[in-house]
Amino acid sequence: MKVYTKTGDKGTTALFGGTRVPKHHIRIESYGTIDELNSYIGLIRDQNIDQLYKNTLMDIQDKLFTVGAILATDPEKATLKNGEQRLKIPKISNEDIEKLEKEMDQMEDSLPPMTHFVLPGGHQTVSFCHIARTVCRRAERIASHLNELEPFQPETLMYINRLSDYLFVLARKLSNDLKAEEIKWIPKKDS
């Protein structure tokens, strides 16, 4: 099978189920941003970090493929008229969300309490986490808009939301592990 199909040469692409839409369609923006996020998470995983984080990030990357499949599916093609599922699409579970929460709780147990916003940066690996976090927030905004137009499984949006929180906590934990300075944002007073 060749990578190029030439079917998108006129600015359209196929959703899961076969429906063709413009490449700028909100559904394409939605799962395309998830794909971008997945690539940044791969970049974090490629850093010199603890294997536990790498394993969690690999699991997250797997779940992001599930999220992408959910977002890439034409809801009209996903089920038959009797409600039976036509396309076999995996789901995001409450357990997937709880796993992220558990990971965050474990990391936060070893961190000083957060009293201020922190400026992104301090170490390249930490910066990659912050970039991934902001891409995740953008993915959430786009997916939220899509959900308003064409609702999808609620746990999917919850997972994206929780993942951005996880990436923030991971950035703080890696700052701590790497002995990077975590700079608090303290608004400057007018003179």
Percent of the chain's residues with pLDDT above 70:
87
190 within domain boundaries? no
Number of domains in the chain: 1
Compute, in degrees rounded to 10, the torsion defined by CA atoms 11, 137, 62, 93.
-110
Q: What CATH number does the domain containing 59 carry?
A: 1.20.1200.10
User: Has residue 2 been placed in a domain?
Assistant: no
Could you tell me if residue 110 is inside a domain?
Answer: yes
pLDDT in tens, 57-105: 999 999 999 999 999 888 766 555 556 665 677 899 999 999 999 999 9
Assigned domain for 7 exists: no
Judge whether 34 lies within some domain.
yes
In a domain? residue 4: no
Whether 184 maps to a domain, the answer reads: no
Could you list the residue range(s) of the whole structural domain that residue 48 is in? 12-78+91-177
pTM for the full predicted model = 0.88
Confirm if 116 and 185 have CB atoms less than 8 A apart.
Answer: yes
List strand residue ranges (DSSP E) for the chain, in order. Answer: 12-14, 20-22
Residue 3 in domain = no
